[in-house]
Every structure is written in C-alpha cells, then in structure tokens.
Structure 1
Amino acid sequence: DGHKRELINLCANNYLGLANHEEIVAAAQRALAEFGFGMASVRFICGTHVLHRQLEEAIARYVGADDAILFPACFDANTGVFDALLTADDAIVSDSLNHASIVDGVRLCKAQRYRFANGNMNALEDALRQARENGSRFILIATDGVFSMDGYVADLPTVCDLADRFGAMVMVDDCHATGHLGPQGRGTPALTGTEGKIDIISGTFGKSLGGAAGGFVAGRSKIVEVLRQRARPYLFSNSIPPAMAAGALRAIEIAANADDRRSRLGAHVQRFRQGLVDAGFDVVPGTTPIIPVMFFDAHRAKAMAQTLDRLGVYVAGFSYPVVPEGQARIRTQMSAALTDDDINAALQAFRDARELLAL
C-alpha cells in the first residue's frame, strides 16, 4: 500500500554497519561505471579482472594467509573445498553445529566422515584417534569460528593442539567473525591467538565486509593452487562483478581501521545482553554480537517476532529445522550502525512484547 514504517533492524549480519557506507558505495559505483555490470564469464576463461586478484591478495593479507581464492558466496566456497582437496583415503572431522554449507560440502566429498558434539574437545579427540586408527591419509578438522545460531566462539587453541597431536589440518569458517572480531577484525584465529596455525579459512564479504555478496577461501599457497584447478563452484560459476570486488576491497581497508566501530559494537553487545538478562529473558551466554533469546517453542518465538515487528523492532524467529527441535529462538544481532537510543528502544520493545503476549 506504499505505507512506510521505520524499524530497528536486529537481524542483519551488518556487524560493522558498513552495508551503506558512502565510501564503499562510491568505490562500487566507480567500478560499475568503468568496468560494466559483469564479466559474463568464469574466471579461467575471460572472467578474471585485476580487481579480483587485488581482492584475493587483500583478504589473504587481512586474515594472515599466503593466498586466497574468490567464490560467488561462502556457501560455494564451503561446498567446493572438501571434494577438491580430499579423497576416499582421507577423513573429515566436523563439528555437529557447523553451517549447512559445510554439511553439504562434506556430503559431496568421498572422504570418511566423523562428527563431534558442538565444542566437545574430548569427542573431537576421540574422532581424531578413530580416524588415525582407520588409516586415514589426510585428516581435516572443520569448524565454524563463530557458530551462527548460538554465537559461541570455537575453542581454536584446543582444536589446533589436537590437530598437532594427530597430524591433522584445520579449516575454520569465519563468516560471522571476519571484520569485527579480534585485533583489526582479523577474525577468530586472531581473537584466540591461533593465527598461522589454521590451514584453511573460509569467509564472506556478505556480512561485516560490506554486506553485499562473494566468498573466499584463504590458506597456504598450495591449497589455494589446488582449489583453482579443482574447486567446481570456482571453475563453473561466473566471476563476482567488478563493482562488488571494488566495494569489498574498500570494506577491508575500512574494517582494518575500524576500532571505533568495533568498540561501539562491543558496547551495544554488552548493554543489550545485560538488559535482556535483567529483564528476565533466557539469553544464550556469550560475547559476540549474536545474542539468541530462547523461547523453546516455535509458536512463542513466532508470536514474539510478530509483536516486536508491530512495536518497531525487526527480528526473525528460528525453529526446527534451522535449529534443533525444542530450541526455538529469536536470534538478535548487534550492529555498529545502531545508536544507544535504538538499543534502549529495542529493550523496551522486548519487555512490552512479552507483556502483551503474557509470556
């Protein structure tokens, strides 16, 4: 009906608030005007632009890797990486709460599969021992850096210690960390002191780093070389548009120097989390900008999300199969784009919505 309402957005992945940053928009517009709408080709035919290599080099430097390779999305990166690197003689040891793209990537690969309960390092050790006893050639541990539905940070120091003990490699999907967690926003390896110990980092430009699209795998040069030759989503997908690469390049530069935004984000996280706890909500413990509010019942989560919408707060309810049965929640996410007034208004809306629903 053309009616417009203003809402406080608490469910975007726009952690640093860069999605509408003037300089990023301007960089993309310049590239759009100069280089056109798209490459109309895959990388290895005529789809490689100088901006693609610049972006690969910039993201590799940023996360502390030798090299990087671009994908249309991190979903493609994760579905392409396992089959390109591993065979039936190898093993993948995967955290049970890893992102759907890792689950799909593992399914596409012929390697032996082992799963361990989320964050359970004893279970990881057992799985690694089993893989070694079964004679696996290469073993790759795969984990999210930040688990997207809970906001937990993976115990990377222990993961890396176990990897050393069992001669395994480590892959981290850092989509919900690159740009805003750790020194200069370099992600969970930097946050946990494991930089240089992670063999493969996958990530996205669709969250903190501009919020548009595009993914990457960063790692040792030899790994990236193999992916350029064998990763099917890379070989058979159009290159990301030059304008998007230009915007992402500027986003990395801004993110590396955005301590002010990270500090504002951290203050919002603390304030909103504490406010919810003080109001008696069941909040999943943690320190990241992902703050899940538990309702355990799908109908209650949905009713709460709809009521909050009417009160001017935009959130989404999550229930099975996105989260385990009986674990329905509203996942709230903080952003540096929010103001203190936004946080206060959102907290008031949560209290009002619960009262209106008599929950």
Structure 2
Amino acid sequence: MSFDLAARLAARQADNLYRQRPLLQSPQGPVVQVEGKEYLAFSSNDYLGLANHPQVVEAMQQGAARWGVGGGASHLVIGHSEPHHQLEQALAEFTGRERVLLMSSGYMANLAVITALVGQGDTVLHDRLNHASLLDAGLLSGARFSRYLHNDLDSLKQRFQRAQGHTLLVTDGVFSMDGDLAPLPELAEQAKAHGAWLMVDDAHGFGVLGKNGGGLLEHYGLTASEVPVLVGTLGKSFGTAGAFVAGSEELIETLIQFARPYIYTTSSPPAVACATLASLHLLQTEHWRREHLQQLIQQFRQGAQALGLNLMDSPTPIQPIIIGDSGKAMAISAKLRQLGILVGAIRPPTVPAGSARLRITLTAAHTAEQVQQLLDGLAACQLEACDE
C-alpha cells in the first residue's frame, strides 16, 4: 500500500484547512514586509516588542563575538556555557524558584517535564484546550490520560476521582487560541486536596501579566508550593528563543537525570542566552510596556464590541474574533490583507470544529493609531459582507 499524500493535501485544501507559510522579509515589528509587500501586522507573539530591540540585538551580537554561534553539544556533554548558567540563575530569581532549567523550545520543555514525571500506572489530567505540546506529552508519557472540560472544575473533580498512581494536573496559564486565563487558585486547591502536582505552562502570561511581568502566578499571588512545576517560553514576551522549567532543586535535578528531550538535545546558542538576559532586564524595568499594552487591549475591545464583533473573554494581548466557518475566516483574513493588515485565520484542528477565528495579537510596539486602523479594517470587512 502506498501513501496517497496528494489526496490528503487535496482534501485539506477542499476543507479550507490548508496551511501556508508567509515569507517574512523584515524583522518582527508592528509593520513588516511579507512577500514583497508592507503590512500592519497583528499576528506576532512578541508581546512586549523586544524581538528587535536594539539592546537585545546588541547583546546577541556581543554574545556571538564572545561565545560563537553554536552550542556545540548537549548541556550534559560540553554545551552548558556560562551565559546559559547566568540566565538560569536570573530566571530562578525572577520566578522565585530554587532553580531553572533551560530548554531549546517550549514544545521540548513540555515533553521533557511530563514524560520524566509520570509513566505507566500514573495519571495526567489535562484541560481540553491545552496546547498541543502538553497533550502530546501526556499521550507519550504512557500514563493514564484524561481531559477535563475547559476550565470546568466539576469536570476536573470527576476525573480526579478516577485517577491512579502519581497524578499530574496540567494546564496552560493563558490559553493561546482563546486568550482566557486558567483558574489557577481553584486548580491549585483541587490538586492539593487530591495529593497531585500542578504544572502550569505560562508561555503567554510571562511578561504580560503581573505587576512585574511575573505572569499568571504573580497575577494570582500563588507560590511555588501551590504550583510546583512552572514552564515558560522565551520566544514570546522575552523576544528571543527557547524555554525554561522553574521549580525546586529536586525537580530540576530529576529533569537533568531523566528528561530525554533535555539529555539528548544540543544546547541553544550561548548568544541567545546573552540576548535573553538583556530582554529580561527590559521586561523587569520598563513597566510602561505592560501599561501601554493594557491600554491597547482596552481600546481594541471597546472598538470591537462597538462593531458587534464576536469577541472572547480575554484580558490578554490575544484577542480572537470567532467567525465559525473556516472559509469565511480565510476570506476575511484575505480582505484585511488587501487593506494592508496582516491577521491570521486559525482553523481546525488547531481550534475545535466550527470555531474558526481571526487571532489578533497586540504588542507594546503598536500605537493607538495602528489599533484604530485595524478596527477600521474590520469595519470595512463588515460593510463588504453586507453588500454581498
């Protein structure tokens, strides 16, 4: 039997689910060049506008001049450079944890943690809307895998009653396609009541939430004892690349000994760690970035509600507009592109069937005038739909 790849691709195109990569020809920013044309972009997770910040760029250039451009080997062989160590210490202080372990990507971090902590005879409980990397890790772990309804505490209670062995409760902090927040205080309470550990992937919360950018745990005032396992990525608010796991001394040592994705992966370039140290400093000291971003979020939500758009309950830079039909979502995205505005259409299987959406992301690098231009473009798309 041969693989009929052409038929699979044709079916995906027919269902308006075909994915294509836009070719970026400029640095990240509110205005980008894609395939030879300039667009006002609302598609990046560079929430604080640090990916092209001069200080971050300079730190990476100096880091490359001092440390070269490659990690050379895994961290356990000879790839753990001084900048990696300095960044781990700085992130441990930032998160209030005993130790931090750097990873090459967020996907890898989630795979590493879950597969190292649970296995056959154990249980991993997942929010139904968790990121694909968390779900894949749960399936690969060999543990009993159960998903509770999104942010539904009663549904979670029912699944706790059927749990066996060591139980790991896993959730996104900010859900990447909806922009809403996990009810961490209640999840922590349930985890404690059932003797389970709570793991939070706060990829989209760090830098954005909390007075000092400490993410969803700072937002709720939760401690390391309430959330023993904390994962964050560096390619979003930090503006660089990679990820980290923060926790106790015993947790980090366990990952170093047993987490296969960490053990068998070449370390990230030391220069990236140098750049991330610079972005961490900006994240902690330039509070105006979070303040400005919150103003833009409020401006967008008020304007979108005035237009009657179907917003989700999101207090974050992720502002989805539910369209429903994948073909219609693609058509609106294409119309916005004709108007010089870049907004992605997110379709199944990334989101549930019938919930295709425009995923709008705001950053601290945007201006109020640019947000108004986006609102004007959305209004123009509405008028065109009425005329059809």
TM-score, scaled relative to structure 1: 0.96
* Residue number in structure 2 paired with 1:181: 209
Structure 1 equivalent of residue 190 of structure 2: 162
Matched-pair contact (CA < 8 Å) for 1:70–1:214: yes
Residue of 287, 304, 311 corresponding to 1:259: 287
**SS of 2:49 mapped into structure 1:** coil
Question: What residue is the counterpart of 2:45 in the other structure?
Answer: 13
Partner of 1:217: 245
1:66 alignment partner in structure 2: 98
The answer on 1:140 being equivalent to 2:148 is no
Partner of 1:26: 58
Query: What is the distance in 2 between the residues matched to 1:125 and 1:230?
Result: 30
The one of 117, 121, 143 aligned to 2:153: 121
What SS does the aligned partner of 2:38 have?
Answer: coil
Structure 2 counterpart of 1:177, which letter?
G
Letter in 2 for 1:129: Q
| CA deviation after TM superposition for structure 1 residue 4, in Å | 4.3
Q: Which residue of 2 aligns with 1:227?
A: 255
Can you list the C-alpha shifts for 1:171-197, whole angstroms capped at 9, x where unaligned?
000001111111211011111121322
Q: How does 1:275-286 map to 2 (within 5 A)?
A: 275-286=303-314
Moved over 4 A (4+): none
User: 1:50-104 deviations in whole A, cap 9, x for unaligned?
Assistant: 1111111111221221111111101000111111112223211111100000011
CA distance in 1, matches of 2:320, 2:287: 25
> Does structure 1 residue 317 correspond to structure 2 residue 342?
no
What is residue 235 of structure 2 aligned with on the other side? 206
- Unmatched 5+ residue regions in structure 2? 1-32
Paired amino acid for 1:243: A
Q: Secondary structure at the match of 2:254?
A: helix
Question: Of residues 83, 106, 119 in structure 1, which corresponds to 2:138?
Answer: 106
* Cross-structure match for 1:45: 77
Task: Tell me, yes or no, if the aligned pair for 2:208 and 2:316 is still in contact at 8 Å.
Answer: no
Q: CA deviation at 1:8?
A: 1.4
State the alpha-carbon separation in 2 of the partners of residues 219 and 90 from structure 1.
21
Distance in 1 between residues matched to 2:340 and 2:154, nearest whole Å: 45
1:356 CA displacement: 2.3
* CA deviation after TM superposition for structure 1 residue 253, in Å: 1.2
**Paired residues for 1:279-294 under 5 Å:** 279-294=307-322
Contact map agreement 2:103 2:244 (CA 8 A) in 1: yes
Give the Cα–Cα distance (whole angstroms) in 2 for the partners of residues 357 and 34 of structure 1.
56
Deviation at 1:345, TM superposition (A): 0.7
User: The residue matched to 1:281 in structure 2 has which SS?
Assistant: coil
Residue 338 of structure 1 aligns with an amino acid whose one-letter code is H
For 1:258 and 1:144, the matched residues in 2 are separated by 26
Write the letter of the residue equivalent to 2:365.
A
Query: Paired residue for 2:16?
Result: none
TM-score by length of 2: 0.89
Say yes or no: does 1:342 pair with 2:374.
no
Distance 1:281 1:125 in 2: 34
Q: Deviations over 1:118-176 (max 9, x none)?
A: 10011111111221xxxx33211000000000001000000011111111110000001
Any conservation in 2 of the 1:291–1:331 contact (CA below 8 Å)? yes
Q: Over aligned residue pairs, what C-alpha RMSD do you find?
A: 1.5
Matches of 1:236 and 1:109, distance apart in 2? 17
Q: Aligned letter for 2:285?
A: N
Aligned residues of 1:279 and 1:351 also touching (Cα < 8 A) = yes
Distance 2:143 2:288 in 1: 44
Q: Residue in 2 aligned with 1:85?
A: 117
Preserved CA contact (<8 Å) 2:180 2:314: yes
Task: Check the 8 A contact 1:184/1:258 in 2, yes or no.
Answer: no
Distance 1:24 1:351 in 2: 37
Matched residue, 2:128: 96
1:270 is matched with 298
- Match of residue 18 from structure 2: none
DSSP-derived class of the 1:6 partner: strand
Give unpaired runs (5+ residues) of structure 1.
none
Q: Distance in 2 between matches of 1:8 and 1:270?
A: 19
Please, which of 344, 355, 358 is the counterpart of residue 327 of structure 1? 355
Deviation for aligned residue 1:353:
2.0
Rounded to whole Å, the distance in 2 between the matches of 1:147 and 1:258 is: 25
- Tell me the amino acid that sits aligned with residue 92 of structure 1: V
